[in-house]
Chains A and B, each alone.
Chain A
Amino acid sequence: MSLSAIRAESRPLVITGARIVDPKSGLDAVGSVVVADGLIRDVARGAAPGLPDGATVIEARGKALLPGLIDMRVFVGEPGAEHRETFASAGQAAAAGGVTTIVTMPDTDPVIDDVALVDFIARRARDTAAVNVLPMAALTKGLKGREMTEFGLLGAAGAVGFTDGRHSITNALVLRRALTYARDFGALIMHHPSDPDLVGSGVMNEGETATRLGLPGIPREAEIIMLERDIRIAALTGGRYHAAQISCAASLDVIRRAKKRGLAVSCGVSATHLALNERDVGPYRTFYRLSPPLRDEDDRLAMIEGIADGSIDVIVSSHDPQDVDTKRHPFAEAADGAVGLETLLAAALRLVHNGEASLASVVRALSTRPAELLGLPSGRIAAGAPADLILVDLERPWICEAEKLHSRSKNTPFEGARFEGRVLMTLVGGRTVYKDSEA
């Protein structure tokens, strides 16, 4: 379906008989949703109270209607590496994965550290992407970790937060000033806590697997120590701090303690880290090379616990398209990163199917909490909210095939993986941007 065709859709839409899950309001019941003019007009238990004139009715018995996913960590190749991913291809991948909003990272060429570039992304994404694209701008100019960017002007231009993406701020004073200054604008600072000195030449989790493979390891302390430092600076400054991704059980303890103290601290985990561990690296498979690295099984189980009890706020895809030019190398020389927009929901739903977390807690981490952290009106199913909705068959089995992914890069760690739960339809602002061909 072409974008113009999608835009032409303007008739009211009623989805009936679906299990509506909205963690924000605590709703989890069979009901109906009325969509018109891009917004959710009405939400009712049972049948819709009255059908608007000329409404299209979608009978969705046995399916789940969820708020569209909001993915807080997405790397897109545009600008600078369009051969890996564009807003158009990332948008298609997102739509197919049930992600209605992507938050893009500033690690592009050029780096997104200027008002004109934020503006460029907004316009470019509006013209080419099927889903909402919200840029995060660089925290420091050129991602160099030295001088902070114009938080006020960048925020006004549309930046929803500030981060140095894959880069960590090693200078504690820079982070202190950034968090202090950001507080005046209520801006969210997202950081990748990973001490580059402790990481050294490390390429995977330090431990038995790395030792057997003869690969230099990354100790958990590279993450834990920097996270502990960050939390202290957050406490010192009162700024809003978000750890982009954590991967270790001990990091979860750090976050729990900080939250107990009432600090404005939050964190994320990637769906890949919820599903896989370091053993999946197997015989040097570079698609499993990630930053932070896949840790061991105890860490993975701790991350799941964090989602189940809400101490980890968000699940991200950490979608990072890489091509053969960066992945088809010996493990130690390959780039980090894996695509994940299209497997985000299915990988997260494994927790639900395994009885490890409730559907509500998973949806909260995929949509409700990201919206709250970013101050978005979406992430909920309530009258007046944008009609960013996904219809999901929670039970439908499917097998991930890299070649069928919409992303321009095929570096998925889930090639051949069996999933349960498939997106049937994705609405962004009331427009149907994806419809499963078998639905």
Chain B
Amino acid sequence: MTRENPTLTARPPAFAHRHLLGIEGLTPPEILTLLDLAEEAVDISRQVEKKKAVLRGRTQINLFFEASTRTQSSFELAGKRLGADVMNMSVGSSSVKKGETLIDTAMTLNAMNPDILVVRHHAAGAVHLLAQKVGCSVINAGDGAHEHPTQALLDALTIRRHKGGFGELVVAICGDILHSRVARSNILLLNALGAQVRCVGPSTLLPKALDRLGVEIFTDMKSGLRDADIVMMLRLQRERMDGSFVPSVREYFHFFGLDQEKLAFAKPDALVMHPGPMNRGVEIDSAVADGAQSLIREQVEMGVAVRMAVLEALSAHLPNRPGAA
């Protein structure tokens, strides 16, 4: 009996992962594959007929242990546009208080045979833990201060559509790096694609050994933003501005809030991004947020496209695929 050697005939899968748990572990070609897929999704999303059938018959559960409007609705829309049946589950801290563990919740859901679980949890590593225990594909929609891979991917897609690529680009990530999963995923992704990444913030909001992640560190906006192509602002939660990490909102805004004056330190064609939700007047001035250099609304559109791309890429590895052995 002769058999074709599959490694010679078949193209290796461009995205060979069952889960998307983080940017860590993805190769630059894999990241670019996702971005290319997302471009197609942008086109589909701008048509009247926004549907594709790659997930028809599949069940996607959005399991959010932490409240989120935009990420959850973005994943919901992405799943629906690909034809999946989408169920949203918001598990507050209540069932945890009842004594049910994360694993118990996951096993309960797993018994309902979902194909894809989209998970957000307030603890770093929670999504990894869950992925070990369930039989379906798992997408990390944010775990503690660890990773938020689809946010980094949508940021990258937005940047590429405006700047064409990543080499030579100077990206300044500003604000609360310490508690930010968005920052970590972006640092990993932008470094992988060759951008020059800076972190700017007060020292109380910069984690230890941050420089070991391959970024330049600044504690003032003027030098941190000098010649930057992209200024990425991070959300600062109000409970961290009462003297625990920074003394007050007004002091924070004075030194780190992005207004026109500080934006002028960056390149004239610099673009402003924010993962949302924004605290206007805390980390960003309304005039900048709504100004000509802002990409903030476009980021939301790219969010749906990137999530469609991720769902589609993972669908190639779902079990019981039509035509699969």
- Which A residues are within 8 Å of any B CB, using their own CB? 206-208, 210-217, 219, 283-284, 325, 328-333
Contacts of A216 in B (CB 8 A): 145
Contacts of A210 in B (CB 8 A): 207-208
Q: A329–B145 contact, CB under 8 A?
A: no
Contacts of B144 in A (CB 8 A): 214-215, 330, 332
B101 lies within 8 A of chain A by Cβ: yes
Q: A283–B128 contact, CB under 8 A?
A: yes
State in angstroms the CA–CA spacing of A210 and B129 once bound together.
17
B53 lies within 8 A of chain A by Cβ: no
Secondary structure of the B contact surface, majority rule: mixed
We find that the number of chain B residues with CB closer than 8 angstroms to chain A is 24
Could you list 20 further interchain pairs (A-B, Cβ under 8 angstroms) beyond the known A215-B125, A330-B126? A206-B208, A208-B212, A211-B207, A211-B208, A211-B212, A212-B184, A212-B213, A214-B146, A216-B145, A217-B208, A283-B125, A283-B128, A284-B124, A284-B125, A325-B101, A328-B101, A328-B103, A329-B102, A329-B123, A333-B123
B8 lies within 8 A of chain A by Cβ: no
Contacts of A329 in B (CB 8 A): 101-103, 123, 129
State in angstroms the CA–CA spacing of A214 and B188 once bound together.
13
Contacts of A207 in B (CB 8 A): 208-209
Q: What 3 pairs between A and B have smallest CB-CB spacing?
A: A284-B125, A214-B146, A330-B123
State in angstroms the CA–CA spacing of A210 and B147 once bound together.
13
B210 lies within 8 A of chain A by Cβ: yes
- Which B residues are within 8 Å of any A CB, using their own CB? 24, 101-103, 121, 123-126, 128-129, 143-147, 181, 184, 207-210, 212-213
**Which of A208, A328, A331 is in CB contact (< 8 Å) with B125?**
A331
Q: B213–A211 contact, CB under 8 A?
A: yes
Q: A330–B121 contact, CB under 8 A?
A: yes
Given contacts A207-B208, A208-B209, contact A215 B124 (CB under 8 A): yes
Contacts of B146 in A (CB 8 A): 213-215
State in angstroms the CA–CA spacing of A112 and B144 once bound together.
37
State in angstroms the CA–CA spacing of A219 and B184 once bound together.
21
Q: A332–B123 contact, CB under 8 A?
A: yes
State in angstroms the CA–CA spacing of A328 and B129 once bound together.
9
Q: B209–A332 contact, CB under 8 A?
A: no
Contacts of B207 in A (CB 8 A): 210-211, 217
Contacts of A212 in B (CB 8 A): 24, 184, 213
Contacts of A213 in B (CB 8 A): 124-125, 146
Chain B nearest CB, measured from A248 CB (Å):
15
Given contacts A328-B103, A329-B101, A330-B102, contact A211 B125 (CB under 8 A): no
State in angstroms the CA–CA spacing of A211 and B146 once bound together.
8
Q: A214–B124 contact, CB under 8 A?
A: yes
Contacts of A328 in B (CB 8 A): 101, 103, 129
State in angstroms the CA–CA spacing of A328 and B104 once bound together.
10
Chain A nearest CB, measured from B278 CB (Å):
22
State in angstroms the CA–CA spacing of A392 and B6 once bound together.
54
Would you give 29 A-B contacts (Cβ < 8 Å), ordered by A?
A: A206-B208, A208-B209, A208-B213, A210-B207, A210-B208, A211-B207, A211-B209, A211-B212, A211-B213, A213-B146, A214-B144, A214-B147, A214-B181, A215-B125, A215-B144, A215-B145, A219-B208, A283-B128, A284-B125, A325-B101, A329-B101, A330-B102, A330-B123, A330-B124, A330-B129, A330-B144, A331-B124, A331-B125, A332-B123
Chain A nearest CB, measured from B234 CB (Å):
14
Residue of B124, B184, B213 most packed against chain A (CB within 10 A): B124
Contacts of A219 in B (CB 8 A): 208
State in angstroms the CA–CA spacing of A265 and B103 once bound together.
45
**Which of A211, A284, A332, A333 is in CB contact (< 8 Å) with B210?**
A211
State in angstroms the CA–CA spacing of A332 and B126 once bound together.
9
Chain B nearest CB, measured from A285 CB (Å):
9
